[in-house]
Amino acid sequence: MTRLALLVLIACVLVPNIAAHTPVVLWHGMGDSCCNPLSMGSVKKMLEKELDGAYVLSLMIGDSIASDTTNGFFMDVNEQIDFACNVIQKDANLQNGYNAMGFSQGGQFLRGLAQKCPQPPMKQLISVGGQHQGVYGFPHCPGSWFICKEVDKLLDLGAYTDYVQNHLVQAQYWHDPLNEEKYRKHSKFIADVNQEVTVNPTYKQNLMRVSNITFIMFNKDTMVIPKESEWFGFYKPGQAKELMTLQESDIWKQDKLGLREMDSQGRLSFLKIEADHLRVPEAFWTDEIIPRLKD
């Protein structure tokens, strides 16, 4: 073997493949888990195949699949974000940055992660049915009978009571348009990350470090009320019928999160799927999602 050939062989072994795709971090939705073979497990395998063996981490919030599922209902969202941040910061495969894709509530949790945990850097965020202005209703509960009864019981106690805010994940992104003042005062998560009470400049700076954000709305969604929250829209204050877009909100007008500036730079995308919640057609994966992850 010539010296040149030997040097080329050593380089191929020691130098990482510069063409490798950016790693991907997934965060599942309510009632699901990191590793369900019919949902997130299947998505993980599909992405690994389509991205030529790229590293894909499906976040498990807790020390088991069972705890991961229940924590999606009963573990403080901010503690979940801290947990996810710790996992990501310790993962050697993610230290140069990663793309993130969140499903349902995992979408707004990953946005919270981007705002609170800037290192390692999140390069892209794809929110698949995430509720970025919160929700005002739970017509379907995807958990077990026992868990769903607990959710109903806690919401009946009052979403903005300290006890419920401290013990129910969904209460932390419950957004009551009839009680905006109470929402802003007591919401432990969504009002905070949306800069509804005080403006934290770091939240804006960190989110603007994300290169591109894609918001995907399901136009026939029967799970999320209102579905427009998936595009950062919501009800106009004081009633629950007339809707306003992100562009009509103070979040946009005052650019509290930097979204208006990002949009002016072509860094926001708003996509729509004509299907129910999280029913992503195969063609949509091929045409819209996979190309965004092949950077």
CA distance 8 to 77: 49
CA-closest candidate to residue 35, choices 1, 77, 68: 68
Catalytic residue among 68, 221, 229, 249: 221
Catalytic residue at 104?
yes
Residue with tokens 């500036």: 261
**Cis status of the peptide bond prior to 16, with omega within 30 of 0:** no
Question: Letter for the amino acid at 193?
Answer: V
User: For the chain, what is the largest distance between any 2 Cα atoms, rounded to a whole number of angstroms?
Assistant: 78
Catalytic residue at 221?
yes
Looking at the DSSP assignment, which residues form a beta bridge with residue 273? 218
Report residue 189: phi and psi, to 5°.
-125, -70
Catalytic residue at 277?
yes
What is the chain's Cα-based Rg? 20
Cβ pair 218, 279 in contact under 8 A: yes
Q: Who contacts 193 (Cβ-Cβ below 8 Å, separation ≥6)? A: 108, 111, 112, 115, 116, 203
Catalytic residue among 104, 127, 187, 249: 104
The tokens of 48 are what? 């690994």
How many Cβ atoms sit within 10 Å of the Cβ of residue 84? 24
Work out whether the CA dihedral 61, 67, 69, 74 comes out positive or negative.
Answer: negative
| Distance, first Cα to last Cα, the chain | 36
Query: Is beta strand 234-235 parallel, antiparallel or unpaired with respect to 243-244?
Result: antiparallel
CA-closest candidate to residue 26, choices 42, 10, 50: 42
Looking at the DSSP assignment, which residues form a beta bridge with residue 61? none
CA-closest candidate to residue 70, choices 58, 61, 79: 61
Catalytic residue among 21, 28, 132, 277: 277
Q: Which are the catalytic amino acids? A: 104, 221, 277
